[in-house]
Structure 1
Amino acid sequence: MDPFRRAQIILLCDLCKTAHLQSHCERCHINLCQTCVGKHLSDSSIRHKVVPYKYRKSLNYSTCPDHADELCKHYCEKCDIPVCSTCVSSSKHEGHDTSDILEKLCAKTESLQKDLDELESRIYPRYEEMASGVQTEKAELETNYGKLTTIADQHGKLLHREITAIVNQRKSDIQEMKIKHLSTLNKNTEEITQKMAELKQIMSDLKSILKSNDVSLTSTYKSRTSEFRILPPKVRVTVPSFSAQKINKDQLNEMFGSLPPLSINTEHGATMKSAEAVSSPPVKPLLDEPRVTAAINTGYSGLYSVSCLSEDQVWTCSHLNDTMKLLNLQSKLLTSIQTKSGNKPTDIAVTRDGDLVYTDSSNNTVNLIKNKKIQTMITLQEWIPLYVCCTAGNDLLVIMYSDDDKQSKVVRYSGSTEKQSIQFDDQGRPLYKSGYYSKYLSENKNLDICVADYNASAVVVVNQSGKLRFRYTGHPSNTKLSFTPVGITTDSQSHILTADINNNRIHILDQDGQFLRYIHCHLRSPWGLCVDIRDNLFVAELNTAKVKKIQYL
């Protein structure tokens, strides 16, 4: 009998277990009889590949590394490796669950096929679409930048025209002054010439009288000498000088118009939805022109800290007042709480539960306000607490400095228990400047700890373990005064926002410290910062004591 026919008699369908097999599904690695092929193909969720049994692909079993003469036809579920029959019965895999390698291969193949289907039908086309989009953007570069160049040329021509008009006006003014000067001198000359003519006539008459010896003429002569002793007025006209202003290139550059620095914002790739996972929240792009949507008058004489309770309610505090205020967007006072000690609070933060935490540097405490009752959570020895923030894990991060004014560190607390201390980098050097200086801090979405170190003129960012990731010391463009970071906060897009009080603006960085852009919004002495759950930015202005709500995403 034909060996193949003998094989058919021996091998049965994997589904019905009774009929002789006729076909093989290479996708699912099962043998099928003619009747069961239709049933198998009815599952349309899988792209089956059914072929005649004799044309099936043969399996390449791996050789057992421990038993060279045996093939691995089993799979150890615990060790997650193919094994041979001898391995299965050995003590090495005693008690381990094993399965047939074909069953494992079927499951693995199905997973591989799913990956291939998704890559071919969904993911790769998206990459092609993105690549096409980049090519389109590149093709439009010449046109877009050409428009900018044309605008600059046109603006330059307008300025040239205005300057030419100003020059012509000045030249006309000079010519008019010259004519007036000449006319004045001519008039003066005429007066002097007239007097000189009279003098000549008088001198001639005197000579005639003296020569004639005529008694009558001599006796009737009236002297006018005293009259001419008074000289005619001398008109002095000073030629005006041209007061040319020194050309200030910076002012001229600013007057001409400016280009913001090229904003290269690498957006984190969106996660495509799959059957097993949910995609990431959508990326919110930065607005070209951030705008102030509300301004809150706090009534303080100097405002330092702001912390969001909700989209329309913020806690505020001042180093010059012992009362913390809860206000709404209409500047209405909702609640005010005086510190437990009567000292002025150093900083405030709102917990995930909506309670208020404040630091008291005068008595070295961190305090919690719950239901308007104040309880001291942490009392420090030899360290003085400064600024505080609440983390996503409901811990507290407190930055503090030592009694001797020589050290600074960030400490993580769970309740009143210290969990972590961050003070030095890998080389044992201090991460933060020592002493009592503004050092606001915030936790980012990636759990980085971001500190705005005023005295160091830097934003210092460490990861969750306290390892230094980077320092940001400001962006060089259009900087008139040195970078002076005070307040700092982060948003849902992992942006880092810090207030630059000397330059009256907010710096926006990505989570890796790359500068993205500024927020200006006519800010005056911006100090404390926070964002609400919708990524609205609240800015505490030191001198005006106002809180400005800004939309920037």
Structure 2
Amino acid sequence: MEIHMALSKPIAPESLHDAPDIGQHYVECATENCNKNCQYYCNPCHRPMCEQCREEHFKNQATKNHEVVQYRQRTYQLPVEKCKDHPTKDIDMLCDECQVLLCSKCATANHRGHILTDLEAFYSERCKRCLEEIYKIHKYFLPTTQNLQKEIKEDATEIKIVLKDMRKIMKTEAETLKSLVDEMLSKNLEEADKVEESLIELLQSQDKTYSGYTSYLNDFIKELHGYLSPNDSLKLIIIAAKNLETQPIPDTSKPVLPIFTAGQYSKEVVSKLLGNIQISNTNPENRKIKPKEAVSIHLKPTVKQTKPSAEKQKLILSSSVTKIREFRVPAVGSACHLSMGKSGRLWVSDLWANLAEIDIEGNLLQKIRISFLGDNNGYHTVTRGGDLVYKDSNKKCIRRVTTDNKVIEFLKLGSWKPLSIYASLINGDILVGMKKNGKAKITRYRETGKEIQNILRETEGQELYRNPHYITENINGDICTSDIGKRAVVVVNKPGQRMFSYTGQNTEFHPYGICTDVLGHILVCDYDKWALFNSVHLLHQDGQFLCYVLTKEQGVQNPTSVCVDDENNLYVGHRDTNIVTVYKYLQ
């Protein structure tokens, strides 16, 4: 059995997610009477734990929804600092507008309405920033600088060889015309020595420059380590971000080698006979420094700064649902799936391989004709950066359409056929539902395309999915899936453990489009081609049925897609028409 221990050492790993903590130590499980090696970390509890204790943690009703991550991906705990004005309260917030540290009483008393940042998240982000910078130094700056110094030594060797060859030519010429060349030979040799001395002095100067830069990098590493110390934690918070950036590598130029021109044998032109050393007028060529972008560094998402959630807490379900407007989507025959983009833009797909992007007024912005026949699955999504991502069932891959309209193959799925896809707004991860040989799973990828998780079975070995054709993610990180094969909404937590399955309120439940809102509600379409139970269900995030938001009595026919915009408006798309209807259901 392979045992993963929280062992740290200053090496340069393949990616930051794989990077160990700096400072060599072993961490034991924090559970009482358990001395096993730590593999995981509960962020809400700030507790390291082994694999067995993690399983017990999830079984506990009080902690089953806690976020438990790999130890190296943990949230760093904020050192306790008491508020001077309220000694019983801990400092746990940063007022972005006033740039002061606060406790909860300070925030409500003097900073109401200001933008506040969770200090623990901010501190953890700065700790990770230091680790990222250390990682870049080990992975990029130090090796690149060492390579440049190696190149300087090679240049010095080449200069010596070239000048040695030139001397041989000079001496050969001089032997033939010994009586004529003694004086000129002496002069040329002296000139060659001066050129060599000048070039070597230049290279020695460059070498000293990079030696000094290497010393600076080592000192900067120590400085960054110092900021990670709990004793200096506040320095890390208040220090300017630019002071955490490594200074660029100094530029140097390669030496321009001299050229020797052989002379002609003639008494009158003795200087030409022996030749002379020439310094080229060519501008020095800068040494090639490997671009920093070539280093693969997976960064954690930045701390999101939001105003206090008083406005969110005021939102409740409205006693009645109000239709705000409806519009037809040009260039598509139906609205089988909706993906909300930036600035109110919306991507809509139909059954006939058409994808259309519209603006907030319903005007067509662009149209894409995909290479496979459209279907009734949630086969496209929009990333945090605004890129459209969609499946290609024929090629068994995922394609990305960048903001400058370039289509690239983003993920290859091998023999698995993609069904559905969703881009997380929490961390940017890509969730893909897929099938192969009667089996189904959901795979999580980083924004870079690195596969990091497969969700296939429950802990008891039972298969979680049969046909996961629509996916979304809730505000607590739960993955919510409409599985038409199981005729259920299957919800698992972030580690992939099943939380619940919702099978509807009638004997026939056909889950289609699914989304979540700012309160953690789950909204799912119940589409029946016989129009018996067409409706939109509203669930609590724990799986409890709350109400029918929309039913066929309210004019809803064949709903297959839903999404919620930034104004908490509900968009509903239909299988048999290109009309999208917008409702207000929260107040």
TM range (shorter): 0.3 to 0.5
Q: Normalization by structure 2: what TM-score?
A: 0.45
> Which of the two has higher C-alpha Rg?
1
